[in-house]
Structure 1
């Protein structure tokens, strides 16, 4: 970039409005100068990994803030791996994530920093993140399942994310052991945050995963079975858990509350207290799923909840395979199992069709 160099500029290469009385012309704003300014500004924005948007007038400020926050950090220009556990680079996941956050930043180039849990590693910590932006980090394991040591986790969560956190992708399947005292442990707890995972969390003594307050969960094909209370609890949030296992949970395999949307197509909710429940206006779609041999209901829509469970199987339920209460709606077309009222017959409880 250079200062304006047109002949109508001042000797100091500055702009002037001119002076007609003295025959001094106003400075001509040249194509070269305007393009130079444009490309300098665009370069700052693009260098921060921000896609140009003509409708967003805050992008330069965003880019400057990003660069200040990432001062002294190295841009990630290749895939890297750090190890945690026996013989690894770090002894805890918290240490590894802290190191990556302090040392690197991503400009959205697609490079991934993997936290690899070494064989034999036991998850004995509560990993808590807030306001973090870590979609460029993933957590994987050399073992088929990572054991979470319940006695090392206070009544809280093995993984917690809050305040608009974009979590590392969780590839490692987790399972809570029976050490210590059973209580109100949560496997994974999201508050206003985003998580993508492909392993799951099972055998928690209370709830395997809680998704709250405008959070988003992407967890197709995961294992959330064996919870002491609820496998997947979603409140005022969105969760995609198609083809997942939420079986053998004491109270509910899946519970949706209030303004939540849950997709659980082809999922397994067998042998739960209630396989799946949409409550207080929540919506659950679970085509081709099954909730066989549940203690009370296979599928329960309550308090204006809505369920779409066509081609499902709720046979063997202790009370009803399909139940509506308090103005709810349940579509169980082409499904197997008993129902709490006559089909296509509106009542104060709702309607099943």
Structure 2
């Protein structure tokens, strides 16, 4: 260090002598400093040096300028001296490494010690981090445990209940996770006495089928004027009390709701599911007096409504379109202001033993490849036709009641098929059975009485009707009538006692098989081909 101090002092003395000589020198060079721009990067000048060089340029008085220059020189000397010492040390270390004399064990020991010191310093932070993480995990597990249920959960809605609205109760239960248990667990929303529904339950893409809505009252009123939230699906916008779309699943409905007459009725459906959505309605539950459709399945929707009630709908009690399915066996869709059940576009309705009586429109209208099973059903009292199957549709209505329609009892058009085996068709304003356009009606053992228009049973334009073993009597004009290439099989049927002399009639190349049948043919020839066709007997 003595040599270093000597070097420092020598350099400082030289710089001071230089500054003194500059101060005593007369300035003779009028040109600008050269080069104009520094050959070094000003940003790399140490901050201490830069401070005094800046003051050298800017101070007004000479003594301040000189002092700044001196300090800059001193600092520069110190920096240079430090660099020299560092360089000497580096040179010494490098030479030791080349000679193999450098103490690498010392470096390793020093590094290991420094590493241990760093780990020791980090240990408290790591310990705290681990404790915080464990605490958070414990908190999460506790929350999950709170939301997980291995027992039945019932919440109440209404005055004095757990929640004021159905939606609030659903939101609570939807956060719960139910464990598997043999025969299942129950999540129930119970509507308390006096509760009126002034909201809509609209579900998209989530499954709420583990929830069941029940009620203390026998009926719960839906205030229709509150159905103001639009529910848009593919090609359709509606305002249902209960709606599901996009593979969503509604809570199970185990309440008989009655919709009020307040507010707009258009598209105010009771239950509407669309675009792959699903719904379950329990027996004796449903929505009565819907402003639009009572139960509506659209675009591949699926509904199970066994024994449910959707009477008195303004548009249709049931509607299924575009490949949808409804199980309405034993259900009630009476007294619709429109159609009882309306389905089409390859949709299917299973409605065995269902009641669609009293519809102002058709009791059952099946269209465009739709299929309806309503065996043992009640389709009586329709304002138009009891059954209208159109455009390659299929209806199974064996042993059903189609009486009292103001129009036809059963109408099959454009290659449709109806099964009316043992059905009852009485007192209809037009034909009891009508088929045209290559349609087919099987009505073995059917009863057709007191029906109007031109015949109790009518087949035309390539259609085929089977009424073997049937009772076709007391109709206003003919009993059975085949026209324009129509065909009727009336073997062993009783076609007597109708309004005109001809109980059995053919025209325009038609065929009737009436072996062992009762009923007059008038002047028409039997078993002979004429321009009218032929009656086999």
TM-score above 0.5, yes or no: yes
Partner of 1:248: 358
Partner of 2:461: 348
The 3 A distance-change label for structure 1 pair 346 and 225 is closer
Q: Which range moved further: 256-265 or 102-111? A: 102-111
The correspondence for 2:434, drawn from 303, 323, 334, is 323
Partner of 1:116: 190
Is 1:190–2:297 an aligned residue pair?
Answer: yes
Secondary structure of the corresponding residue to residue 170 of structure 2: helix
| Cα distance in 1, alignment partners of residues 381 and 443 from structure 2 | 19
Deviation (angstroms), 1:261: 2.2
Is 1:159–2:242 an aligned residue pair?
Answer: yes
Which has the larger Rg?
Answer: 2
Scaled by the length of structure 2, the TM-score of the pair is 0.47
Q: Which range moved further: 154-163 or 196-205? A: 154-163
Structural RMSD (CA)? 3.1
Partner of 2:167: 94
| Cα distance in 1, alignment partners of residues 415 and 150 from structure 2 | 50
Q: 4+ residue runs of structure 1 moved beyond 6 angstroms? A: 339-343
Deviation (angstroms), 1:296: 0.7
Q: Which range moved further: 246-255 or 189-198? A: 189-198
Q: How many residue pairs are counted as aligned between the two chains? A: 282
Q: Deviation digits for residues 54-106 of structure 1, max 9, x if unmatched?
A: xxxxxxxxxxxxxxxxx999555444333333433333333333433332357
| Cα distance in 2, alignment partners of residues 313 and 86 from structure 1 | 50
Partner of 1:169: 252
The 3 A distance-change label for structure 1 pair 194 and 333 is same
Deviation (angstroms), 1:196: 1.7
The answer (yes or no) to whether the contact 1:242–1:266 under 8 Å persists in 2 is yes
The answer (yes or no) to whether the contact 1:219–1:240 under 8 Å persists in 2 is yes
Secondary structure of the corresponding residue to residue 363 of structure 2: strand
Deviation (angstroms), 1:194: 1.9
Is 1:311–2:422 an aligned residue pair?
Answer: yes
| Cα distance in 2, alignment partners of residues 300 and 145 from structure 1 | 37
The answer (yes or no) to whether the contact 2:434–2:459 under 8 Å persists in 1 is no
Deviation (angstroms), 1:151: 3.0
Deviation (angstroms), 1:174: 3.5
| Cα distance in 2, alignment partners of residues 125 and 311 from structure 1 | 46
The correspondence for 1:219, drawn from 328, 331, 338, is 328
| Cα distance in 1, alignment partners of residues 179 and 414 from structure 2 | 45
The 3 A distance-change label for structure 1 pair 83 and 163 is same
Secondary structure of the corresponding residue to residue 175 of structure 2: helix
The correspondence for 1:332, drawn from 443, 464, 488, is 443
What does 1:1-353 align with in structure 2 at a 5 Å threshold? Answer: 74=147, 77-104=150-177, 110-154=184-228, 156-184=239-267, 185-191=292-298, 192-197=300-305, 198-235=307-344, 236-273=346-383, 274-337=385-448, 347-348=460-461, 350-353=463-466
The answer (yes or no) to whether the contact 1:75–1:107 under 8 Å persists in 2 is no
Q: Deviation digits for residues 23-80 of structure 1, max 9, x if unmatched?
A: xxxxxxxxxxxxxxxxxxxxxxxxxxxxxxxxxxxxxxxxxxxxxxxx9995554443
Secondary structure of the corresponding residue to residue 119 of structure 1: coil
Secondary structure of the corresponding residue to residue 317 of structure 2: strand
The answer (yes or no) to whether the contact 2:433–2:456 under 8 Å persists in 1 is no
More helix by share: 2
| Cα distance in 2, alignment partners of residues 76 and 314 from structure 1 | 55
The answer (yes or no) to whether the contact 2:411–2:434 under 8 Å persists in 1 is yes
